[in-house]
Amino acid sequence: MTTAKAEELSRELLENVYELPHGEKINECIQCGTCSASCPSIAAMEYGPREIVASLRAGMLDRVLNSNTVWLCVSCYSCTIRCPAGIPFADVMYELKRLEVEKGLSKDSEGATMAKAFVETVDDHGRSVETKLLRKYFLRTNPFKALPQVPLAMKLFFRGRLEIFGRKIKGLENLHKMLAAIEENETK
């Protein structure tokens, strides 16, 4: 990726981050690493939260967005609550996830596939329907990885805990009108 492209990514990210409540605090990062030390999934990440801010400042955000990093964030908000500079870092991660999807940089990411399948399911029904969500997810990733889920699915089934046919909310048509209306403003 060219430097120009990396700079554009940084600019777009910061624009969105500055719109968050307290988003401007990202400029006050002192690179203390409390965020990274608090992150439960950092062992699997190529770049931890502290490195993400450093990459942003170095104009190398493209490396982060081309890595496995951002979709490993589990939204536990430990980084956010502990950050001495008050940076809402879990929300910065959400911005990074959106940017990655928007730029088509997260094709192989399980987390992104799951989130997209979730959005489709909710749009179809007005609610999340777990059986439909998981079917979409495993068909699009690796159907064989659904096999370890079968014993649990059977246990849930025999206890009547599986919803096979998802019901739709009554106001689905109106909900779609609302979602279309916000979409007209912008795509974020």
Binding site for other proteins (CB under 8 A): 19, 21, 40-41, 44, 71-72, 74-78, 80-81, 88, 90, 93-94, 97-98, 101, 110-111, 113-116, 118-119, 122, 125-130, 134, 137, 148-149, 152, 155-156, 159-163, 169-171, 174-175, 177-183, 185-188
Task: For other proteins, give the closer residue by CB, 30 or 178.
Answer: 178
Q: What share of the chain is helix, strand, coil (3-state, %, to 5)?
A: 65, 0, 35
Question: By C-beta, is 104 or 148 nearer to other proteins?
Answer: 148
Based on CB atoms, which residue is closest to other proteins, 62 or 89?
Answer: 89
Between CA 188 and CA 102 the distance in angstroms is: 9
- φ/ψ of 171, rounded to 5, equals -90, 30
On the CB side of 60, how many CA atoms lie within 13 Å of its CA? 9
Instruction: Locate 153 and state its tokens.
Output: 């699915």
Shortest reach from residue 2's CB to other proteins, in Å:
26
Shortest CB 36 distance to other proteins, Å: 15
Instruction: Rank residues 2 and 104 by Cβ distance to other proteins and give the closer one.
Output: 104
Shortest Å, Cβ 94 to other proteins? 5
The CB-of-167 to other proteins minimum distance in angstroms stands at 8
Nearer to other proteins, 29 or 93 (CB): 93
Give CA–CA dist 128/163, Å, rounded. Answer: 11
Count other Cβ atoms within 10 Å, centred on residue 29. Answer: 20
Task: Compute the least distance from the CB of residue 30 to other proteins, in Å.
Answer: 20
List Cα–Cα distances, 165 to 80, 113, 174, in angstroms. 38, 22, 22
**What is the rounded CA–CA span in Å between residue 153 and residue 17?**
40
